[in-house]
Structure 1
Amino acid sequence: MIQKLLQRFGALPKQADQNGWTPLHLATCRGSDESVKLLLESDRQVAYMKDAKGRTALHAAAYGGNLSAMLLIISSCPDCCELVDKRGRNVLHFIIESPWATKENMKAVLKNPSLSKLLYEKDFDGNTPLHHQFNMEDIKENFIDHSRVDKMALNKQNLTAYDCALSGARLKLAAKLLLRYLEGSKEETINVQALQLIWNMVDLA
């Protein structure tokens, strides 16, 4: 079906919807690897097209956890890995934030030189993929021991990835204590000192 459309409408791969999504964006999200392959063979330049938020089809594939589509795009257009969205986030930032990416996906990503070299790249807030990873509750694969990771990299708030993790932990604990206080839990009385501790946790975060 896709092949027939491409033969009839040559410009189809570059036609985008109101959000800037091309047929390649859609194909990666729908898990249609054959469509991804045909679209790339028709016009490789479509891999470099961005939507309204600056996201490429590779970003869409990464967030959707579609490893096979990612590898197809990278094999056809290796340098599209360098592209970032309007927040400065690269493909690794997206795959880390994906609720669908598996541990196997992450391991495969780290073995790919075109992708693993992005581990030290920062978004416009100064956050590396490691910063984003440490902000996630579900850490699928630990980047910290990878040779390309800069463990001491600072974001624009002068925080390392470890600092972000500690800040997040403080906020989560503070939120739990505050919720228990507001619900008037009888099992554990929260006194003034406890409330001060909560306040200090939030302030430190």
Structure 2
Amino acid sequence: VILNGTSFTSSTGSIKLDTLGNNEFLGKVKLESSTGSQESYAVKTNFTRGFQALASTGSLTLNYTNCLMGDNLIGTVSTGSVTFKSFNMVYTKDINLNLEASTGSIYAELYQYITMGANVTGTWETSTGSVNVVYIDNLVNTNVRFIGSTSTGLINYTPHATMEITSLGSIYSTLNYGDGAYIYLFSLDTSTGSINANAQSS
């Protein structure tokens, strides 16, 4: 199914968008709510012009499986948590993938077992709350790096044979980072809270 850009707006209430295979959005997809949760579950869907979700008060859940992202992916909530999961995303150009929560935690899982096609950079940040990340790839052409920063809290990186921890414990990277054709590069920032990341990268 081919669709133009889609926008869903709610003042009081939840928004749920499910696309369950063989769909293509030619324009940007945007979800926006004042009070209420947002959920988007996408399978085999092409987001040609990217995806944006904005919530003032409420949780935000973004879940992508075997999807294509053609522009920036943004998830922002003022009061509430952000949950992001990506499995085998493909990118048609270099993009920004930003997640932000002013008050609340960020939970992100990213699994990459196929060539991603471009580079992805982003900032995952919260003022009050923790940033929690799980990352796995099995690709020699893909590297990942996390740069952690917290004012009050700990940075906890799980040691793994494929990863190295440098810069006094603030940077967590694929061994020989920079040798891969494609990179994921994320800043993990919180003012009050911890940063927890567990990564494996071939």
Task: With the length of structure 1 as denominator, give the TM-score of the two structures.
Answer: 0.37
Structure index of larger Rg: 1
Higher helix share: 1
The structure whose RCO (Cα within 8 Å, separation 6+) is larger is 2
Task: With the length of structure 2 as denominator, give the TM-score of the two structures.
Answer: 0.37
